[in-house]
Amino acid sequence: MDAAQHQTYSAVYNMLSLGIASMLFTSIFLWIARDRVLPKYRLAVMVSATVTSIAAYHYFRMFDSFKEAYGGSLSLHDAFLHYNVGYRYVDWFLTVPLLLVELVAVMGLARAVRSSLLFRLVPAAALMIALGYPGDMKLGGLDNGVWGALSTIPFLYILYVLFVEISKSLKDQSPAVRKLLSGARLLLIATWGVYPITFIMAMGSSGDPSYDAVAAREIGYSIADILAKCAFGLLIFTVARIKSAEESKEFAAAEGH
């Protein structure tokens, strides 16, 4: 490993370490603070904590896998084969649908409306991740760009539900909650937009991605993960706190609102 590669390796190493710390301590905070909201909003906070807990576990696994693959004397080809990108996709397959569950759960919608939204959002999110995995892993069969395009179809459907269907429900929220939920929704979509960009950067024309392309992918994915899971989860917790105070004078007085 030359000096330039060592710097690149250190950047990814540090970013994965930051991912571990962010996911782990956000999880601890949310699990401890889950009782600081009304029972009807507790599920949203617990789902947020579950998301970051799942991510913390997978970041530990990715950290070890990356260190073993790129921190030794393996060739670029062997390191690419040795590094288990599957950890990240298993994480997304579990957590991306749950992120949408968080958003819907904290809105306090009627059961029929909530069930209808989740019935559409959760399968679309799982399909989006499942279709992106073969292209990122270069499994063949179809061109990587084709897999990326297929993965975009459920992504666009999720955008439609988030910005058309859920917008109808936002009208029933208080101005403060509406502003935060609109921001949370934009944060989710903005961070999700990082994933296809890093996917394209690492895709290359043929063969294994370069060392810099792998680094760009891992750093980009990690930054997006921290924002989409930790920052988003803390926003959901804040919304739950505000709605709890709005709906219960006793809660507001006890919590100093």
Digit-coded pLDDT (tens) for 138-171: 665 666 677 778 888 988 898 888 888 788 778 8
Write the CB contacts of 44 (distance below 8 Å, at least 6 apart in sequence).
102, 105, 106, 236, 239, 240
Indicate if the alpha-carbon torsion angle 119, 93, 91, 149 is positive or negative: negative
- More confident: 229 or 6: 229
Containing 255, the helix (H) or strand (E) segment is helix 249-255
pLDDT at residue 207, as a whole number:
57
Q: Which domain holds residue 187?
A: 3-255
**Measured between alpha carbons, how far is 109 from 119 in angstroms, rounded to an integer?**
14
pLDDT at residue 136, as a whole number:
65
Residue-wise pLDDT for 198-249, tens only, equals 666 655 545 566 778 888 888 989 999 999 999 999 999 999 999 999 988 8
Angle between helices 194-203 and 111-137 (to 10 degrees): 10
DSSP string, 146-178: HHHHHHHHHHHHHHHIIIIIHHHHHTTS-HHHH
Residue-wise pLDDT for 111-147, tens only, equals 888 888 899 999 999 998 888 777 666 665 666 677 7
**Which CATH number does the domain housing residue 234 bear?**
1.20.1070.10
pLDDT at residue 206, as a whole number:
53
- The number of distinct structural domains making up the chain is 1
